[in-house]
Structures are given as structure tokens and as C-alpha cells.
């Protein structure tokens, strides 16, 4: 379960204030795969980072039960001078999981080849995302935060990523950001829409997609 209580996020840039979320109150049930929908700039990635604890909240609070992954499309927790293998082992130690088992899983999953043992500074953004997705899928979180990462790579890689994600969803929940509605339908069973600084939860995924698409055509 993840609950927002009077959640507010405001940015101030160049003296201008932008309200992303204002006094949002909403509960996301446990073991539910939720699509996070909204226009560009609505605050989807910002919300994921606040849930993960990697971005400060302006006011209010987020309460949760169980463990939550970092946004798997966000590789900011990796050290650029360490290799993919070294970053994986470091994270394994932080989360108390078997280092060899996680390293073997990530090396096979991410398909980075020789780059897995090269410094992260040599990686493309897509390679970093694949590494981050592999590391997170190799750890048993209660809720996974997924930000567009399964769109990285060719069709075979996307298919593999979806299969691994679906296997995790048998025992966990997720909040998923994607601009692909076919992918949303494949991965999610409910949705949350960000619009005008508010968040709206829909148990009916198709109802949410229809409303989201109407917002996008305005």
C-alpha cells in the first residue's frame, strides 16, 4: 500500500513557481500494477522519485508498506567510475542479497556484453537503463517503480523485459510510466492520472486510458 496525504510538490525556477501537485490524497492498493498517466510535464517522473525517496516533498507525506524500488529508468544511484558489475555488487550488499546471484542475473538479462565490466561513464543512456532495470528486477521488492525503461532495446529485449516484469508481478505491485498504451495494457491492471496538480485513481484501466487520451487531444 502507498498512501499520499496532502502531498504537495512545488518547483521554483528562475524566480517562477510551478505547482506540480497540490494537496493530493490517494491510496494505491498493495500488489497492484498501476499505470501512471498524464501529459508531458504533468509530474510523472517527479512523483516516482518522491515515492522512491530520491526527491524531496514540499509538504504532506507519503506512507507505504513493504519495500519500494528506485525508479528503474533512473540510474543516478550508480557510480560512473565503477563498472556495471561493480555497481551491481555494491547494490547487492546495500540490499542484503547474494552478490554472485544478482551479478549473474543482471549480466544475462541486461545483454551489455563486455561493457558490463567497463566503467559506467562509457555507457549510453539506454545501456544504463538496461542495467538499472536488470538490477531492480533481480531484487525482490514489494513495489517496483518503472519509468519507460522497457521501451529500451529491440523487440526481443522488450519481450524479455516484459516477461521478467510479469513474473515479478505475481508477488508484487508496480507503478508504471509509459507512453505506449499497448504496453500499459500488457503490464497494468489499474491506473492513476495526473492532471492539473491532482491525481485520480481508476480501478478500470480502459476508463483511465480513454480519459487520458481525451486529455491528450485537447
The interaxial angle of helices 84-95 and 99-110, nearest 10 deg, is: 140
Please report which confidence band the pLDDT of residue 129 belongs to, taking 50, 70 and 90 as the band edges: confident
Which range among 28-37, 103-112, 125-134 shows the weakest confidence by mean pLDDT? 125-134
Q: Supply the pLDDT for residue 76.
A: 66
More confident residue, 129 or 29: 29
Residue 152 has pLDDT above 80, yes or no: no
DSSP class per residue in 157-215? HHHHHHHHHHHHHTT-EEEEE-S-HHHHHHH-SEEEEEETTEEEEES-HHHHHHHHHHH
Buried b (16+ CB within 10 A) or exposed e, 15-46: eeeeebbbebeeebeeebbbbbbbeeebbbbb
More confident residue, 31 or 153: 31
Q: Supply the pLDDT for residue 104.
A: 98
Q: Supply the pLDDT for residue 73.
A: 61
Lookup: cell for 19: 505547482
Q: Supply the pLDDT for residue 218.
A: 79
Which residues partner with 4 through β-bridges? Answer: 26, 62
Rounded Cα–Cα distance for residues 105 and 62 (Å): 32
Model pLDDT for residues 6-52, shown as the tens digit of each residue: 999 999 888 888 999 999 999 999 999 999 999 999 999 999 999 99
Q: Which of 12-26, 115-129, 175-189, 198-212 has the highest mean pLDDT?
A: 198-212
Lookup: cell for 211: 480519459
Which range among 3-12, 74-83, 148-157 shows the weakest confidence by mean pLDDT? 148-157
Mean pLDDT of the chain: 91
Residue 72 has pLDDT above 70, yes or no: yes
Residue 80 has pLDDT above 80, yes or no: yes
Q: How many CB atoms lie within 10 A of CB 134?
A: 25
Q: Which residue has the cell 492532471?
A: 195
Model pLDDT for residues 187-198, shown as the tens digit of each residue: 899 999 999 999
Residue 108 has pLDDT above 60, yes or no: yes
Strand order in the sheet with 68-71: 68-71, 143-147, 173-177, 33-38, 190-195, 198-202
Amino acid at each position: 500500500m502507498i498512501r499520499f496525504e496532502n502531498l504537495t510538490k512545488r518547483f521554483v525556477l528562475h524566480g517562477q513557481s510551478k505547482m506540480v501537485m497540490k494537496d493530493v490524497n490517494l491510496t494505491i492498493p498493495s500488489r497492484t500494477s498501476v499505470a501512471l498517466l498524464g501529459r508531458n510535464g504533468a509530474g510523472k517522473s517527479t512523483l516516482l522519485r518522491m515515492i522512491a525517496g530520491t526527491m524531496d516533498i514540499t509538504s504532506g507525506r507519503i506512507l507505504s508498506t513493504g519495500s519500494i524500488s528506485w525508479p528503474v529508468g533512473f540510474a543516478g544511484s550508480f557510480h560512473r567510475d565503477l563498472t556495471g558489475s561493480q555497481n551491481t555488487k555494491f547494490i547487492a550488499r546495500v540490499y542484503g542479497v547474494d552478490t554472485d546471484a544478482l551479478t549473474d542475473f543482471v549480466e544475462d538479462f541486461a545483454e551489455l556484453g563486455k561493457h558490463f565490466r567497463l566503467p559506467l561513464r562509457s555507457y549510453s543512456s539506454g545501456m544504463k537503463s538496461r542495467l538499472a532495470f536488470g538490477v531492480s528486477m533481480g531484487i525482490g521488492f514489494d513495489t517496483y517503480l518503472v519509468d519507460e525503461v522497457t521501451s529500451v532495446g529491440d523487440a526481443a529485449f522488450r519481450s524479455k523485459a516484459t516477461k521478467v516484469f510479469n513474473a515479478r508481478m505475481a508477488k508484487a505491485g508496480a507503478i508504471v510510466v509509459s507512453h505506449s498504451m499497448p504496453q500499459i495494457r500488457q503490464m497494468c491492471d489499474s491506473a492513476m492520472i495526473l492532471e492539473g496538480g491532482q491525481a485520480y485513481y481508476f480501478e478500470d484501466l480502459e476508463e483511465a486510458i480513454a480519459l487520458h487520451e481525451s486529455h491528450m487531444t485537447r
